[in-house]
Every structure is written in C-alpha cells, then in structure tokens.
Chain A
C-alpha cells in the first residue's frame, strides 16, 4: 500500500534497544576507567565528576527507555493498522474482518485512510468484539499515555503510568496483544 513504508517488528526494536543499552553501559565503564587511569576521552565529558557521569548515564538511559517504549507501541499500532487494511482490502470473511468492514463503511474518506486507533478506533472495536481478551487490551492501553506524551512533545504533565513501565514491560504487553489477535 505504501511503497516506502519501514515497519519495525517488536523484536527489531528490542534488539536495537539492547544494543544501545550495551553501548551506554560500556561508555560509562570506559569513562569511569578513564577517570581512574587519567586517560583522555571524548571532550563531551570534560570536567565531569563521577557523580555527573552517572547522572548523564541515568538521563541517557531514561531517554532511551522512553523512545523505545514509544517505538514499541507505535509498532503495534502499525501492525494492527496494516492487518486492518489487509482485512478490508482482501474482503476477508472471518468475523473480525467482517466487523472491521462494517465499521470501515461508516468512516469518512479521510478516516478510512487513517482510522483512529484507541478511543472510538480499532482498539475499541477489538474490545467490544471480544475476540481479543479485554485484559490484554487494557494492559496495552496503559502504555498509550506514555506513547502520546513522548510522541507529541511532552508539553503536558508526565503521565503517572510512565513510572510503572519499562521497555521489557511494554514489549510483553505489546507482544501479548499481537499474539491475541485472531489470524
């Protein structure tokens, strides 16, 4: 449908996250070793105390976690929307595809291209249809305020849910939702 689309799987995102996390941990170890041995490192850290190096690591780690959570949730949205369009365009006859097609027919031309995902969108439809465990959808929805906050510039108060989540937790909730989708 979109020739230059670049969808990412949850596993690709998790691999990327783990690679960068390894790099961050290694970087902190290298800097601390350089302090101990009086060696030169990137001037980006020039003059920092060990505490400041740790604070920088914590900030970088927090940012990496947040961007990864955004990516994971966005990947699920992409996968579910791709699946949605596949069911519409191939006119599949299973119950979920029929429910999608019925709902799709009620949408404006613009919304048909980009249907809502969360409230009054595909997730709500999945929840009402009961083909997917409501608890699984509920658990995934807890990740959405964090995704919206990071993805839209963080200009409102940080969502409380963010403190309960990390990339592994979001991965598990995202994977559970995708696994629960009827094929």
Chain B
C-alpha cells in the first residue's frame, strides 16, 4: 500500500472512537420491547375484553454501522381502525432510538431519551418532548386516529 494512504488510514483509525454498535442495537431493541410491554400494560383491560387487538409484525431495519437487523412493528386494532408502532432505528439525532406511531389520520414520533426514556416529540422548536404515559398515549391516539 502507498505510504501516504497507509498513514492517512492509520491516522483515521487512531482518531476513531471505539463504539460498540451491537450493544447500541441491543439496547434499542430492548427499549422497544419495554415500550411494547408498557403499552400492553396500559391497555390490559381492553386487550382482555377484546376491544383492542394486539399483534407483532416482524420487519427488517438497516442502518449505517449497525447493519441489518430484525425488529417488530406493534399493530393495534382499535374499533376496526389500525394503529402501528413502527421502529425507525437506533441512529437518531438527539436520541437513542425512534418509534413512529402511524394511524389512519396522522403520525407521531416517539424518541428514546437518555434522561426520561420514551417521549413524544410534540415540537422540535421549541423542543417539547413529553414522557410517554397513559395520558400521552391517549393524546397520540386522538392525533393519529380518525375522529
């Protein structure tokens, strides 16, 4: 190899921080599972009554550095209408992961924040991220579902 090229590559290698991308992916997948579990808990009664149905649909994501991996969409069927929680990836600006909530009328974005877990991005500027909770889930349903 040309010495100049070798020196350049060596310099880049030394400058690069060692990032454990597998660990990042696994932490994200775990957080997605935790979110789904939280939703199941919040909807325990209607799920038991059968007024809300819950199913997981596997899909593939592909991201720089991480590569391809499998993750589940969570699909809720509420009164004949479908709401899909759809993971978008780990490599997200200002967050440790993202899940979109897609309804028949609109979409909402959930991000994983280091400080307070999953939160709903209500506004980027000014930054307004509401921690995920039962009232927030209700607000999101109202936003993304038909009237």
Contact = CB atoms under 8 A, between A and B. Distances in A.
A41 B94 CA distance: 7
A21 interface: no
A180 interface: no
Given A35-B93, A38-B96, A43 B88 contact: no
Interface string A30-70: 01001111101101111111100100000000000000000
B95 interface: yes
Interface residues of A, number: 17
Contact of A50 (B64, B124, B127): B64
Contacts, number: 54
B48 interface: no
A62 B113 CA distance: 32
Q: For chain A, what secondary structure do more than half of its interface residues adopt (helix, strand, loop), or is it mixed?
A: helix
B89 A49 contact: yes
B124 A44 contact: yes
A43 B92 CA distance: 12
A58 B77 CA distance: 37
B135 interface: no
Contacts of A50: 63-64, 91
A166 to B, nearest CB: 28
A32 to B, nearest CB: 8
B64 A43 contact: no
Interface string B25-65: 00000000000000000000000000000000000000111
A43 B113 CA distance: 13
B125 interface: yes
Contacts of A34: 93-94
A36 B98 contact: no
B91 A47 contact: no
B111 interface: yes
A46 B17 CA distance: 23
A46 B19 contact: no
A37 B64 CA distance: 13
A53 B89 CA distance: 14
Nearest to B94: A46
B91 A46 contact: no
A47 B63 CA distance: 15
A36 B65 contact: yes
Contacts of B79: none
Interface string B121-144: 100111101000000000000000
Given A34-B93, A36-B91, A49-B88, A43 B127 contact: yes
Contacts of A46: 93-95, 111, 121, 124, 127, 129
Contacts of B88: 49
Given A44-B125, A47-B121, A50-B91, 13 more contacts: A35-B92, A35-B93, A37-B17, A38-B96, A41-B94, A45-B94, A46-B93, A46-B124, A47-B95, A47-B109, A48-B93, A49-B89, A50-B63
Interface of A: 31, 34-38, 40-41, 43-50, 53
